[in-house]
């Protein structure tokens, strides 16, 4: 996943309307959903220790990265080589963005 924001229509528990909701992820972890109609934010119940969960997820992703890269290189060598320089430069910014999302969630949690 990465530091993505996905959208889907859901029934909001706060405003009772079926509205677009934003799903905010840090890596593969859902950090929160937000109703675009009323702004109601829902945090997952398992978010008690988001930095720890993120660190474990990142560790797993880093551990499996060589295998995933090898698989892509084997399946589509030319496409893999063409995309590699861009991916190498993009990865640090992606990880920084994910980390900032986790930090923002922790800060918001202490303010609640």
Q: Give the model's pLDDT for residue 2.
A: 55
Phi, psi of 62, deg, nearest 5: -70, -35
Q: Give the model's pLDDT for residue 66.
A: 94
Q: Give the model's pLDDT for residue 3.
A: 66
Domain ranges of the chain: 5-111
Q: What percent of the chain has pLDDT over 70?
A: 95
Task: Spell out, as residue ranges, where the chain has pLDDT lower than 70.
Answer: 1-3, 112
Consecutive H or E run containing 16? none
pTM value? 0.77
Q: Are strands 5-11 and 29-35 parallel, antiparallel or unpaired?
A: unpaired
Q: Give the model's pLDDT for residue 112.
A: 64
Distance of CA 2 to the CA centre of its chain: 4
How far apart, in whole angstroms, are the C-alpha atoms of residue 99 and residue 70? 26
């Amino acid at each position: 996943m990465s530091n993505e924001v996905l959208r889907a229509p859901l029934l909001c528990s706060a405003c009772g309307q079926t509205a677009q909701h934003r799903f905010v992820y840090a890596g593969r972890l859902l950090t929160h959903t937000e109703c675009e109609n009323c702004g109601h934010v829902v945090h997952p119940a398992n978010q008690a220790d988001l930095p720890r969960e993120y660190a474990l997820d990142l560790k797993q992703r880093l551990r499996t990265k060589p295998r995933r890269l090898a698989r892509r290189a084997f399946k589509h060598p030319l496409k893999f080589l063409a995309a590699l320089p861009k991916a190498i430069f993009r990865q640090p910014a992606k990880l920084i963005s994910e980390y900032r999302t986790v930090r923002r969630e922790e800060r918001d949690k202490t303010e609640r």
